[in-house]
Structure 1
């Protein structure tokens, strides 16, 4: 799964690195080292015509679902195309969530050891997501997950879907065909990922500083 991540680079630098502009009419949330769900995050989507960087609420609840409906932060990639809750967004409202890395917890004799997973070369990770419009009229998203691959398998059975090729196809709302997406959108090779154990300080999202990324023995 993906329940906590880091995006600590300034948004203008993120825009330059990934090649998408910041939506001029939007006030973006501040980035952080320990970003939890249930708040606005930085995402990329073609909400109007062309993909732009804009804020999205991390928690997926369509306006038509009602306030008692669940508000998932993740969706299983294997199920989104057939789920009544997700399939409309998967067909037409896909997004990416840029990240410097994400956190995952490994079970260890009844304890949970947190790890920070990131690109071995320091590149941004582009996590695949889908979005909807919530009851307040805001875009609201969740991050797609899949069976863990590569080094991530040593930590947790699930991981976010991280895109490597075909990002422009993923963001194109005119591309609806699932087979086209499967053929042209490629995952980041798992050998580009690495991880390190970090302090349990990351367990508390109020600890939002670079120390949560430091390796511990």
Structure 2
């Protein structure tokens, strides 16, 4: 599961960290820097355009297929790797892979009404690059007005299981560029996601304020550690 992220750096910080070329397209108004980003909002995403050029732009977190929308099904915010090449997701893995740059994500433990949020981030606190799939199209004329994305998740391992049994697929900058390269097949991308995802020991996690439970709360205090007896 990945239902809340932090995306608090400037666009250029992410672009430089992932190694986007100098001629990448940035003619956009990026979303504001946020420490508590919820599904349904606009999130900065990175796409490859034509095998050489890249673009970064805001995109809605949540994917709706045509039939799912017509049946009133809620938007999918996560896409499990176990169903990657199934009928529902395969076309997005073939044509719509993207990267969501972020600083970390949140998970919750315990039971309502006392669920405790945790923030999970790379131990080196460097920008991280989350694999995602979308129905975004490079040509604005072909792009659906409600185009959206879902974050790719896999089973957690190691101590991270104590926080949640699912985790987003986080890639190194080099593997992230391979992920968005549409000349690579869906099968190649699936194998990359399975084998190149950063392991649990690349991350650290700690308890944070319960205020993060409301998307209306934002600011650096959302990711500040609190003591376990707070």
Question: Is this contact kept in 2: 1:20–1:52, CA < 8 A?
Answer: no
Question: Is this contact kept in 1: 2:93–2:189, CA < 8 A?
Answer: no
Which position in structure 2 is the counterpart of 1:80? 84
- Residue 17 of structure 1 deviates from its aligned partner by 1.6
1:87-102 alignment, distance < 5 Å? 87-102=90-105
Question: Is this contact kept in 2: 1:163–1:186, CA < 8 A?
Answer: yes
> Is 1:115 matched up with 2:118?
yes
Question: Is this contact kept in 2: 1:170–1:181, CA < 8 A?
Answer: no
Unaligned 5+ runs, structure 1? none
- Residue 66 of structure 1 deviates from its aligned partner by 4.0
- Residue 137 of structure 1 deviates from its aligned partner by 3.1
State the alpha-carbon separation in 2 of the partners of residues 103 and 193 from structure 1: 12
Which position in structure 1 is the counterpart of 2:177? 168
> Is 1:25 matched up with 2:33?
no
Tell me which protein shows more helix as a share of its residues: 2
* SS of corresponding position for 1:111: coil
Unaligned 5+ runs, structure 2? 138-142
Which position in structure 2 is the counterpart of 1:6? 6
Which position in structure 2 is the counterpart of 1:156? 164
- Residue 215 of structure 1 deviates from its aligned partner by 1.1
TM-score, length-normalised on structure 2? 0.84
Question: Is this contact kept in 2: 1:29–1:55, CA < 8 A?
Answer: yes
Which position in structure 1 is the counterpart of 2:140? none
- Residue 157 of structure 1 deviates from its aligned partner by 0.8
1:166-205 alignment, distance < 5 Å? 166-179=175-188, 181-182=190-191, 186-205=196-215
- The alignment yields a C-alpha RMSD, in angstroms, of 2.4
State the alpha-carbon separation in 1 of the partners of residues 183 and 107 from structure 2: 34
1:106-151 superposed Cα distances (whole Å, 9 cap, x missing partner): 1269731110000111111111100104984354111011111233
State the alpha-carbon separation in 1 of the partners of residues 37 and 179 from structure 2: 24
TM-score, length-normalised on structure 1? 0.89
State the alpha-carbon separation in 2 of the partners of residues 110 and 64 from structure 1: 35
State the alpha-carbon separation in 2 of the partners of residues 108 and 66 from structure 1: 31
- Residue 91 of structure 1 deviates from its aligned partner by 1.6
State the alpha-carbon separation in 2 of the partners of residues 77 and 177 from structure 1: 12
Tell me which protein shows more strand as a share of its residues: 1
> Is 1:104 matched up with 2:107?
yes
State the alpha-carbon separation in 2 of the partners of residues 46 and 69 from structure 1: 29
- Residue 72 of structure 1 deviates from its aligned partner by 0.6
State the alpha-carbon separation in 2 of the partners of residues 64 and 25 from structure 1: 33
**How many pairs align?**
216
